[in-house]
Amino acid sequence: MKVQELFDLTNRVALITGGGRGLGQQIAEVFAEMGCHLALCSRKKENCNNIAERLAHEYGVKAVGYALDVTCENQVEEVVNQIHEDFGKIDILVNNSGATWGAPVEEMSLEAWNKVMNVNVTGTFLVSKAVGKHMIERKYGKIINIASAAGLTVRPPEITNTIGYTTSKAAVIHFTKDLAIKWARHNIYVNAIAPGMFRTKMTKGTLDQKEQAVLETIPLKKIGDENMLKGAAIYLAARASDFVTGTVLSVDGGSTL
């Protein structure tokens, strides 16, 4: 098989949560470029619609936006079933929807903690469960959970003060490994990407205040740009990774070393 074929996603179908902006949008763009059809989901459907319309026009793929709250089980099941009906299958799932909350531990409210856990952990579980039912029937699937370098290491509060977020991403990493061994018998691959510090709407506040301090924790001394996650996402979605499951691929400039 030629190398290009190993990374080709022509006529695959990917469901990407949080696909309307940030890292989800970057992954959607590279998937479309490789020929993948897209179901982009977010609470803000308009964002997904805009990205879907642009990518469909630019790359000639089918791309549709859907409104989805990943913490609502009934809505997750309805939307996943609708996507399956609209596209006929779901080959790839990217669990990218995420939330964070910055506060000292002693001041963080239970409401804030629960919000982060519900989106990052429960949402990943609910969407994986719903999509997994279809993948099990077809005996094939690639699931990519977007974890975080923050789930692999710890930092003093002067760098990050988001214990709910870091804890949730550590949970996503363990969920990835456990689900991989549970569903390997169904030919479903489950892996995670652990991005380091990228320039997104979620990280803007931290970088505006502490960019130099953050750079000191990154051996490569740079912040991730709009292209640096794309290779990892393609690898884990394509046939190139057909002997890889339960792994966590850090894309972090060396910050977790």
d(CA 103, CA 106): 8
Catalytic residues: 165
Long-range contacts of range 55-64, CB-CB < 8 Å, 24 or more positions apart?
A: 55/28, 55/29, 56/32, 58/32, 59/32, 59/33, 59/35, 61/32, 61/35, 61/36, 61/37, 62/37, 62/38, 62/87, 63/28, 63/32, 63/37, 63/38, 63/39, 64/38, 64/39, 64/40
Q: Is the dihedral of CA 30, 247, 224, 41 positive or negative?
A: positive
